[in-house]
Amino acid sequence: MTKVHFTHIGGPTVLIDFDGWRLLTDPTFDPPGRTYAFGWGTSSRKLTGPAIAPTDLPPIDAILLTHVHHGDNLDDAGRALLPAAGTIVTTSSGARSLPYPARGLRAGQATRLEAPGRPPIDIAATPCRHGPPFSRPVVGEVIGFALTWPGQAHGPLWITGDTVYHRALREAATRLRPGTILLHLGGVGFPSTGPLRYTMTTRQATRLHEAIAPRTVLPVHYEGWQHFRENREGIEREIAGGSSTLRESLRWLPRGSPVDVAV
């Protein structure tokens, strides 16, 4: 069993520290106040800054970047961190677009991180659909990451990435049977697109949980921006008001403070 230290810095940005490895997900370190365009008439203003300044980060062995083209997953200050990272793992299209060497993956492909004196980490890309059916030409390529290494007691660590619940996601999760999930929530929506959602809602997360019964669910990317339709209060209200099994596994990460989770 591995004890993993998770530090939620804000939005999708989490420092993952275990057995000598330091991994960073979707680096977003810009200050609040700026409005970012996401294409096709959609935009959002950042409301909350990072809990940890980029200058206070330890050396990063790898950055796991679910996609490169949205400012709430990779902003200017986050891009400035990329050259110093030991490895960048992202989408195949994202790797081609970055001015730095990166390992590009499509859903179903995998890569391995290795270093002397540390356990190897196998990273498999998982499918994401960052919006309604047939939206990929608009929203672009997005992936999640399933991390496996020797000594895990409860199954892989899964970072879902920005996605709604859909068949390919459920099938991948059923094959993986992750024990711990960094779950991108928030039910993203925009005035110009009405009721359409671009990340998972609490109801969708409940369906996913029922399909795979993970041991621990750590919500991320549900706060700090205008475009989230379900913040923590809304998520907790939805869980409390229904029959969601999600409450059995849900564990909130405090911003800026490490939390130990047995993986």
Tens-place pLDDT, residues 27-42? 999 999 999 999 878 9
- In degrees rounded to 5, what are phi and psi of residue 67? -165, 155
Instruction: State the first-to-last Cα distance of the chain, in angstroms, to the nearest integer.
Output: 6
Residue 97 tokens, joined:
């677009």
Segment 97-123 mean pLDDT: 97
pLDDT at 40: 79
Instruction: Kindly tell me the burial class for residue 29, based on how many C-beta atoms sit within 10 Å of its own C-beta (0-12, 13-18, 19 or more).
Output: buried
The string of pLDDT tens digits covering residues 40-70 is 789 999 999 999 999 999 999 999 999 999 9
The string of pLDDT tens digits covering residues 178-234 is 999 999 999 999 998 999 999 999 999 999 999 999 999 999 999 999 999 999 999
Is residue 95 predicted with pLDDT exceeding 70? yes
Question: Rounded to the nearest 10 degrees, what angle do helices 232-240 and 202-212 cross at?
Answer: 60
- Stretch among 41-55, 65-79, 96-110, 233-247 having the lowest mean pLDDT: 233-247
d(CA 101, CA 111): 14
pLDDT at 138: 80
pLDDT at 242: 67
Classify strands 35-39 and 3-10 as parallel, antiparallel or unpaired. Answer: unpaired
Domains of the chain listed by start with CATH number = 3-253 (3.60.15.10)
Q: What is the pTM of this model?
A: 0.96
SS3 (DSSP) at 25: strand
d(CA 159, CA 177): 13
User: 151 — alpha (psi -120 to 50), left (phi > 0) or beta?
Assistant: left
